[in-house]
Structure 1
């Protein structure tokens, strides 16, 4: 049970209702973390702006974004974000087998070398202290442009915040991502 109860849509100002409805259109449900964050409207709007910026179509493939978000959340142990990122990856067409085998990325042939490096960075960046080495970052540069790297680290950092937020609040997982992910088991 969430440590802080999510607000009801009826408790939000019209502007925040609009913001939450935009999120609901994208995700297919109203996220409880947003309904908790709505107590600080500026924060909710700031996070939404960052999410929209990072997930707009760009040179960094959506599949890499989704897998990096999942790896960051899974590495951090945030069940809420792991459910959300798994659901989002499935919704955006990421191969279900790739999702289930995400922890086997270093050796599984389903993953490309570019994906392996991105997932290494996501896993290492989720560690405390940060485990990204200079060598690993140099490997990243052989597969991605500077703009793509900034975007990848942006995704990882967004989920670093959301992982801590949702783990601290013990945010309840909504029915839609819970149902979509209940039959999946990520290898670890």
Structure 2
């Protein structure tokens, strides 16, 4: 049961109603008390995760699914970016990120393993990040990509804490 009252569906900002009725219904209704802030978040969040940027969507999807697994978010883990499916991302890769012990799998490239090790550390022990972690990233990523990886992980971590902490998922 959500820890905040869900706004009535008929009171949700009309521009957000297309998101109601699906797996994000509780999230939208829980956060719709501040519609402008929610819309601003979605303008930031949506292209960050659903479009190629400094990082390709396939890697973004792996990071998203890894953090979703940490938060045990069935909704987040069940959704796939259609682009990654079109581009042939396999369920073997998805399985690797859902279970951290499989990060050494041959299904993942060294580049993917490096990004996932970094995002995992941001998720579970961010205060332990150090120069060595960034040196490892620089083998595969430029500064712009490292910054985007940081934005990506922090967005997923923060949103995961908000939605799970407020119990807005799996209603």
- Smaller-chain TM-score range? 0.7 to 0.9
- TM-superposed CA distance for 1:91, in Å, is 7.5
Task: Choose which of 66, 79, 85 in structure 1 pairs with 2:72.
Answer: 79
1:95 is aligned to 90
- TM-superposed CA distance for 1:34, in Å, is 2.2
Aligned length, in residue pairs: 164
* CA distance in 1: counterparts of 2:7 and 2:120, whole angstroms: 33
Task: Choose which of 160, 166, 170 in structure 1 pairs with 2:167.
Answer: 170
* CA distance in 2: counterparts of 1:117 and 1:124, whole angstroms: 11
If the length of structure 1 is used for normalisation, what is the TM-score? 0.75
Task: Choose which of 45, 50, 75 in structure 1 pairs with 2:39.
Answer: 45
CA contact (8 A) 2:59 2:112 kept: yes
2:11 is aligned to 11
- TM-superposed CA distance for 1:139, in Å, is 1.0
If the length of structure 2 is used for normalisation, what is the TM-score? 0.81
Q: Which moved more, 1:116-125 or 1:161-170?
A: 161-170
Q: Which moved more, 1:139-148 or 1:3-12?
A: 3-12
Q: RMSD in angstroms over aligned alpha carbons? A: 2.4
Where does the alignment leave 5 or more consecutive residues of structure 2 unmatched? none
SS in 2 for 1:88: coil
1:1-188 equivalences in 2 (<5 Å):
1-12=1-12, 16-21=13-18, 23=19, 30-55=24-49, 56-75=51-70, 78-80=71-73, 83-89=75-81, 92-93=84-85, 94-102=89-97, 103-173=100-170
CA contact (8 A) 2:123 2:157 kept: yes
- TM-superposed CA distance for 1:101, in Å, is 2.3
Q: Which moved more, 1:144-153 or 1:123-132?
A: 123-132
Where does the alignment leave 5 or more consecutive residues of structure 1 unmatched? 175-188
* CA distance in 2: counterparts of 1:163 and 1:155, whole angstroms: 12
Q: Residue deviations 1:57-101, cap 9 Å, x none?
A: 2241111101111222323xx233x53144235774232121122
1:181 is aligned to none
* Structure 1 residues 131 and 35: alpha-carbon distance in aligned structure 2, compared to 1, 3 A threshold: farther
CA contact (8 A) 1:67 1:99 kept: yes
CA contact (8 A) 1:140 1:149 kept: yes
* CA distance in 2: counterparts of 1:20 and 1:154, whole angstroms: 27
